[in-house]
Structure 1
Amino acid sequence: MATDYDAPRKSDEEMSEDSIEELKNRRNDKNSGKVDEDEVEAAESFELPGADLSHEELTVRVLPRQSDEFTCASCFLVRHRSQLAEEKNGMAYCVDCAG
Protein backbone atom coordinates (compact mmCIF):
# COMPACT_ATOMS: atom_id res chain seq x y z
CA MET A 1 0.00 0.00 0.00
CA ALA A 2 1.39 3.39 -0.99
CA THR A 3 1.84 6.09 1.62
CA ASP A 4 1.25 9.73 0.80
CA TYR A 5 3.75 11.59 2.93
CA ASP A 6 2.31 14.97 1.92
CA ALA A 7 -1.17 14.20 3.26
CA PRO A 8 -2.17 15.67 6.64
CA ARG A 9 -1.42 13.32 9.50
CA LYS A 10 -4.18 11.78 11.57
CA SER A 11 -4.12 11.28 15.31
CA ASP A 12 -4.20 7.79 16.83
CA GLU A 13 -7.86 8.25 17.75
CA GLU A 14 -8.80 9.14 14.17
CA MET A 15 -6.80 6.18 12.87
CA SER A 16 -8.58 3.74 15.20
CA GLU A 17 -11.98 5.15 14.22
CA ASP A 18 -11.14 4.77 10.54
CA SER A 19 -9.95 1.21 10.95
CA ILE A 20 -13.06 0.21 12.96
CA GLU A 21 -15.28 1.66 10.25
CA GLU A 22 -13.29 -0.16 7.57
CA LEU A 23 -13.66 -3.45 9.45
CA LYS A 24 -17.39 -2.96 9.79
CA ASN A 25 -17.69 -2.27 6.07
CA ARG A 26 -15.64 -5.32 5.20
CA ARG A 27 -17.73 -7.55 7.45
CA ASN A 28 -20.87 -6.36 5.68
CA ASP A 29 -19.30 -6.97 2.28
CA LYS A 30 -19.70 -10.73 1.91
CA ASN A 31 -17.67 -10.99 -1.28
CA SER A 32 -14.55 -9.32 0.10
CA GLY A 33 -12.85 -12.63 0.99
CA LYS A 34 -13.67 -14.46 -2.23
CA VAL A 35 -11.34 -14.77 -5.18
CA ASP A 36 -12.97 -15.18 -8.56
CA GLU A 37 -9.89 -16.16 -10.55
CA ASP A 38 -8.25 -19.56 -10.37
CA GLU A 39 -4.50 -18.96 -9.92
CA VAL A 40 -3.50 -22.12 -11.77
CA GLU A 41 -5.54 -21.22 -14.83
CA ALA A 42 -4.20 -17.68 -14.77
CA ALA A 43 -0.60 -18.90 -14.54
CA GLU A 44 -1.08 -21.30 -17.45
CA SER A 45 -2.36 -18.51 -19.68
CA PHE A 46 0.82 -16.41 -19.26
CA GLU A 47 3.45 -16.84 -21.94
CA LEU A 48 6.90 -15.77 -20.81
CA PRO A 49 9.33 -14.48 -23.43
CA GLY A 50 11.97 -17.08 -24.17
CA ALA A 51 10.08 -19.78 -22.29
CA ASP A 52 9.99 -22.17 -25.24
CA LEU A 53 13.32 -23.97 -25.10
CA SER A 54 12.31 -26.97 -27.22
CA HIS A 55 14.71 -25.98 -30.01
CA GLU A 56 17.66 -25.66 -27.61
CA GLU A 57 20.17 -28.46 -27.06
CA LEU A 58 22.07 -28.96 -23.82
CA THR A 59 25.66 -30.08 -24.10
CA VAL A 60 27.53 -31.23 -21.00
CA ARG A 61 31.18 -32.18 -20.85
CA VAL A 62 32.10 -34.37 -17.88
CA LEU A 63 35.64 -33.95 -16.66
CA PRO A 64 37.54 -36.84 -15.09
CA ARG A 65 38.38 -36.73 -11.40
CA GLN A 66 41.29 -34.41 -10.72
CA SER A 67 44.17 -35.42 -8.45
CA ASP A 68 43.32 -32.68 -5.93
CA GLU A 69 39.60 -33.55 -5.62
CA PHE A 70 37.52 -36.04 -3.67
CA THR A 71 33.81 -36.89 -3.46
CA CYS A 72 32.28 -36.66 0.01
CA ALA A 73 30.67 -39.95 1.09
CA SER A 74 27.90 -38.08 2.92
CA CYS A 75 26.78 -35.16 0.71
CA PHE A 76 28.26 -36.56 -2.56
CA LEU A 77 29.72 -33.20 -3.55
CA VAL A 78 33.06 -33.01 -5.32
CA ARG A 79 35.38 -31.04 -3.07
CA HIS A 80 38.96 -29.81 -3.17
CA ARG A 81 41.45 -31.73 -1.01
CA SER A 82 41.66 -28.72 1.33
CA GLN A 83 38.05 -29.50 2.34
CA LEU A 84 38.88 -33.07 3.44
CA ALA A 85 38.11 -33.51 7.14
CA GLU A 86 38.51 -37.24 7.67
CA GLU A 87 38.60 -40.65 6.04
CA LYS A 88 36.81 -43.65 7.58
CA ASN A 89 36.90 -47.12 6.06
CA GLY A 90 38.15 -45.72 2.76
CA MET A 91 35.38 -43.12 2.60
CA ALA A 92 36.26 -39.41 2.50
CA TYR A 93 34.17 -36.80 4.35
CA CYS A 94 34.23 -33.03 3.87
CA VAL A 95 34.52 -30.50 6.69
CA ASP A 96 30.78 -29.67 6.44
CA CYS A 97 29.64 -33.27 6.93
CA ALA A 98 32.25 -34.35 9.48
CA GLY A 99 31.60 -31.50 11.89
Structure 2
Amino acid sequence: MATDYDAPRNKDDEQGHESLEALKSQRGGAQTALIDVEDSDTAEGIDLPGADLSGEELVVQVIPPREDEFTCASCFLVRHRSQVAREGKNGLYCRDCES
Protein backbone atom coordinates (compact mmCIF):
# COMPACT_ATOMS: atom_id res chain seq x y z
CA MET A 1 0.00 0.00 0.00
CA ALA A 2 1.36 3.39 -0.98
CA THR A 3 1.75 6.04 1.70
CA ASP A 4 1.35 9.73 0.98
CA TYR A 5 3.91 11.36 3.23
CA ASP A 6 2.77 14.87 2.25
CA ALA A 7 -0.78 14.33 3.51
CA PRO A 8 -1.66 15.83 6.92
CA ARG A 9 -1.59 13.34 9.78
CA ASN A 10 -4.59 12.54 11.91
CA LYS A 11 -4.41 11.70 15.61
CA ASP A 12 -6.32 8.48 14.91
CA ASP A 13 -3.60 7.23 12.56
CA GLU A 14 -0.81 7.38 15.15
CA GLN A 15 -0.30 4.11 16.95
CA GLY A 16 0.32 4.08 20.70
CA HIS A 17 2.73 6.98 21.13
CA GLU A 18 3.52 7.50 24.76
CA SER A 19 4.45 10.67 26.57
CA LEU A 20 8.03 11.84 26.76
CA GLU A 21 8.19 11.10 30.48
CA ALA A 22 7.01 7.52 29.93
CA LEU A 23 9.65 6.96 27.25
CA LYS A 24 12.38 8.35 29.50
CA SER A 25 11.37 6.07 32.37
CA GLN A 26 11.47 3.02 30.08
CA ARG A 27 14.98 3.89 29.02
CA GLY A 28 16.32 2.59 32.30
CA GLY A 29 19.10 5.05 33.00
CA ALA A 30 21.58 7.36 31.51
CA GLN A 31 23.40 6.30 28.40
CA THR A 32 26.78 7.68 27.52
CA ALA A 33 28.17 8.13 24.06
CA LEU A 34 31.43 6.34 23.40
CA ILE A 35 33.93 8.03 21.11
CA ASP A 36 36.79 6.05 19.66
CA VAL A 37 39.76 8.39 19.95
CA GLU A 38 43.36 7.32 19.67
CA ASP A 39 46.21 9.16 21.34
CA SER A 40 47.89 9.63 17.97
CA ASP A 41 44.89 11.49 16.48
CA THR A 42 45.84 15.14 16.12
CA ALA A 43 44.71 18.07 14.05
CA GLU A 44 48.00 18.00 12.11
CA GLY A 45 47.01 14.69 10.50
CA ILE A 46 43.96 16.16 8.80
CA ASP A 47 44.25 17.72 5.33
CA LEU A 48 41.65 20.38 4.72
CA PRO A 49 40.27 21.16 1.26
CA GLY A 50 42.26 23.95 -0.33
CA ALA A 51 45.28 23.33 1.90
CA ASP A 52 48.66 24.55 0.65
CA LEU A 53 50.48 21.48 -0.66
CA SER A 54 53.20 23.37 -2.55
CA GLY A 55 55.90 21.93 -0.30
CA GLU A 56 54.83 18.33 -0.96
CA GLU A 57 56.42 16.17 -3.65
CA LEU A 58 54.51 13.45 -5.46
CA VAL A 59 56.54 10.42 -6.47
CA VAL A 60 54.92 8.18 -9.10
CA GLN A 61 56.49 5.35 -11.05
CA VAL A 62 55.49 5.72 -14.72
CA ILE A 63 55.17 2.45 -16.60
CA PRO A 64 55.05 2.69 -20.41
CA PRO A 65 52.22 0.91 -22.23
CA ARG A 66 52.86 -2.70 -23.19
CA GLU A 67 52.69 -4.09 -26.70
CA ASP A 68 49.08 -5.23 -26.17
CA GLU A 69 47.87 -1.89 -24.72
CA PHE A 70 46.86 1.46 -26.18
CA THR A 71 45.86 4.88 -24.87
CA CYS A 72 42.37 5.99 -25.87
CA ALA A 73 42.38 9.30 -27.74
CA SER A 74 39.14 10.35 -26.03
CA CYS A 75 39.32 9.34 -22.35
CA PHE A 76 43.16 8.91 -22.24
CA LEU A 77 42.90 5.64 -20.32
CA VAL A 78 45.29 2.81 -21.06
CA ARG A 79 43.27 -0.12 -22.42
CA HIS A 80 43.93 -3.61 -23.72
CA ARG A 81 43.99 -3.99 -27.51
CA SER A 82 40.78 -6.04 -27.35
CA GLN A 83 38.97 -2.81 -26.31
CA VAL A 84 39.73 -0.96 -29.58
CA ALA A 85 36.50 0.23 -31.20
CA ARG A 86 37.94 2.25 -34.07
CA GLU A 87 41.00 4.06 -35.26
CA GLY A 88 40.53 7.76 -35.96
CA LYS A 89 42.80 10.49 -37.22
CA ASN A 90 43.84 11.32 -33.61
CA GLY A 91 44.50 7.72 -32.58
CA LEU A 92 42.66 4.69 -31.24
CA TYR A 93 39.29 4.93 -29.45
CA CYS A 94 38.00 2.46 -26.84
CA ARG A 95 34.61 0.74 -26.81
CA ASP A 96 33.38 2.73 -23.81
CA CYS A 97 33.92 6.07 -25.60
CA GLU A 98 32.25 4.83 -28.77
CA SER A 99 29.09 3.51 -27.11
Same fold (TM over 0.5): no
Q: TM-score range by the shorter chain?
A: 0.3 to 0.5
TM-score (norm 2): 0.44
Structure with the largest fraction of helix: 1
